[in-house]
Structure 1
């Protein structure tokens, strides 16, 4: 789908009028609410026990990029669960590096002695998937065998524009994508023994979706600095290993690479009927859109300028311009909408505030993680819901103590059902048009 011509957002999110803005509490799926509440037995009755197993082997004491290893494993599980992946994939996500793998040395279970124990915990099919995930050279599989041979983000964007945004249909996918993975799968080398390992097409699809979840949960500017990801291709080519952790904690430059992985899921990881082999993650409008490296960099830089240099009230006109620019370049991130909703609530522009808050809630619900990792996902989600409620009620604090008093979201006592969430792209797409007050033309900061 081509990007809109201007960085604007229609009042009411496309599903209501200016006088009837969206009510964000109604579009938080049950599975998302269960994770927000920590109601883990509602997610899966076995989950608390599995987390106890991870705690018992010390996963909570091990470091992992922005958190502990246990926290990372749980977060990747959460994302896969929100994305509607099957039971084997979600359980694999929870234990995905348990024997160590080609990226990290975090062998909390010993391959030589603990496979039977893990098999008893998660079942034979899941344990086999975990083991395969840990012994294949995942970087070579994803980058050398797949992404390096697939069209670039720019090429995919050009092809999509030429098709009038119709590449969501498999038949219109580039032949190079549809033929990328042979029907029999891909053969790689075992990372320890060097023996050939055949990864069938379904397993490739599962590893792609887990890699998307794995990367979006952990990546921020520290990895960009360390691997010199200046071009945003996320190729892990640099060697700046002395870059101090955690660094500035800017949002990471990973959307372009993940959007290409999503295109592979849609067009290359398909069955004989042409349908994707795994539920498509709801991000990137159900994996129908790609983000170019140039767009993700422009969006990140505009957003970072807004939050780091234009956060005070006297600077909010510039912040609005920068945040709208960020949304235009990368419409798949929630955090610029949270800040826009704040400014519009302060200015009593309720319809615009409601639109952006609603968009933020929907996007955060799709991702299951935050892009700006200075604050955790649940904090961004809670603030977006507070903003949505304030916009609907047309009430926002005018004092500092009033701001400190914020926090309650509506509907906390309302029951909810936990259902498998396979797609939210329709909800996001319905809200992808732009608001009246933003109709000032495209201004790149």
Structure 2
């Protein structure tokens, strides 16, 4: 059965390449003026899920930049939790005394969007979106974290959806699958002492077996007639039009992880290759399974197949701006995928090595 591999979009790749530079934020005319104020609040020292709060804020902003979101939405990504929220106790700006300062820095409308994102019940927001309860006019009634009724306007609903997609893909991995199991309908009665194994951070760092499906549902909500066209559509799930089932999400993650954990026969490549091919059929939307498959193809001498899988993996990585498998960062996944693509398409210098120890020497050639 043919694999659902994608061709690499040169424009998308060029946008992603620009974000591989550690200094990309400093060159962003909209975000750079805000960055020193954010960094001065110690965000690089705060723990946050798979990294630090700095990593998280910048990672969310990176996806939004890659998705070509407008200034207000990208600022929301960079600042989305600075007042704290129901999911995190970090407070970097005191909403009782510092709203004016943030308004002066980013603009009143932009700050109000950040304030609303921090104070609205995002659990209820997610529940209602997943239940298909966005109003016919695109608005969404819900409550604040303090229980006060509010109604989000359609442009705010669209912004919250896009930022929630970026927020989730940046941070979620297996540790949260356990401690926040079945979010947004998490069982809050579970005790940490009883579930101590689930509590051990960071755990095995498996990719989430649930949340890509939920991100897909948030993206599909952007197709609402009164929301569609309000913001650039994220370039994932065929521009947020293709459904992705919960069962496919779970099965693909499990198949992928079985290869990573070497739970397949090790003497020959055939079983691991078949398992990864099935993972890609079930979940063609993330790059990591395709990237590992490309390396298996290279090891088997299947260079054309390896090139197609590596190119498709690169397309997926460039579509998200963050890694699905959090064991290494997004830029490292892209770097190794480019090595694989080079190895599959190059003879002589840069070709894929036959000796195991020579993998330590591989390097990206100019123009690759």
TM-score in terms of structure 2 length: 0.90
Q: How does 1:5-154 map to 2 (within 5 A)?
A: 6=1, 8=3, 26=10, 29-40=13-24, 43-143=27-127, 145-149=128-132
Cα distance, 1:375–1:110 mapped onto 2, change above 3 Å: same
Query: 1:312 offset after TM fit, Å?
Result: 7.9
Alpha-carbon distance in 2 for matches of 1:234, 1:321: 34
Q: How does 1:15-414 map to 2 (within 5 A)?
A: 26=10, 29-40=13-24, 43-143=27-127, 145-149=128-132, 180-183=134-137, 185-192=139-146, 194-229=147-182, 235-237=185-187, 239=190, 241=192, 242=196, 243=198, 244-252=200-208, 253-267=210-224, 269-270=226-227, 275-310=228-263, 314-394=267-347, 395-411=351-367
Query: 1:278 offset after TM fit, Å?
Result: 1.5
Query: 1:310 offset after TM fit, Å?
Result: 4.9
Alpha-carbon distance in 2 for matches of 1:71, 1:181: 35
Query: 1:315 offset after TM fit, Å?
Result: 4.2
Aligned length: 358
Cα distance, 1:292–1:240 mapped onto 2, change above 3 Å: farther
Alpha-carbon distance in 1 for matches of 2:191, 2:136: 36
Alpha-carbon distance in 2 for matches of 1:291, 1:371: 15
Structure 1 runs of 4+ aligned residues shifted over 4 Å read: 24-28, 310-313
Alpha-carbon displacement from aligned partner over 1:348-390 (angstroms, at most 9, x marks no partner): 2111010000000000000111111111111101111111111
Cα distance, 1:28–1:276 mapped onto 2, change above 3 Å: closer
Cα distance, 1:240–1:292 mapped onto 2, change above 3 Å: farther
Give unmatched runs, 5+ long, in structure 1.
Answer: 1-5, 15-23, 151-179, 413-445
Query: 1:121 offset after TM fit, Å?
Result: 1.7
User: In the alignment, which residue of structure 2 is the partner of 1:160?
Assistant: none
Q: Which segment is superposed worse, 375-384 or 52-61?
A: 52-61
RMSD value over aligned CA atoms?
Answer: 2.3
Q: In the alignment, is the contact (CA less than 8 A) between 1:184 and 1:201 conserved in 2?
A: yes
Alpha-carbon distance in 2 for matches of 1:399, 1:78: 37
Alpha-carbon distance in 2 for matches of 1:266, 1:187: 19
Structure having greater relative contact order (Cα 8 Å, sep ≥ 6): 1
Alpha-carbon displacement from aligned partner over 1:191-241 (angstroms, at most 9, x marks no partner): 23x433221011011101111110111000001112334xxx764346364
Alpha-carbon displacement from aligned partner over 1:154-188 (angstroms, at most 9, x marks no partner): xxxxxxxxxxxxxxxxxxxxxxxxxx324272232
Secondary structure class of the residue paired with 2:267 = helix
TM-score in terms of structure 1 length: 0.75
Q: In the alignment, is the contact (CA less than 8 A) between 2:137 and 2:226 conserved in 1?
A: no
Query: 1:28 offset after TM fit, Å?
Result: 5.2
Give unmatched runs, 5+ long, in structure 2.
Answer: none
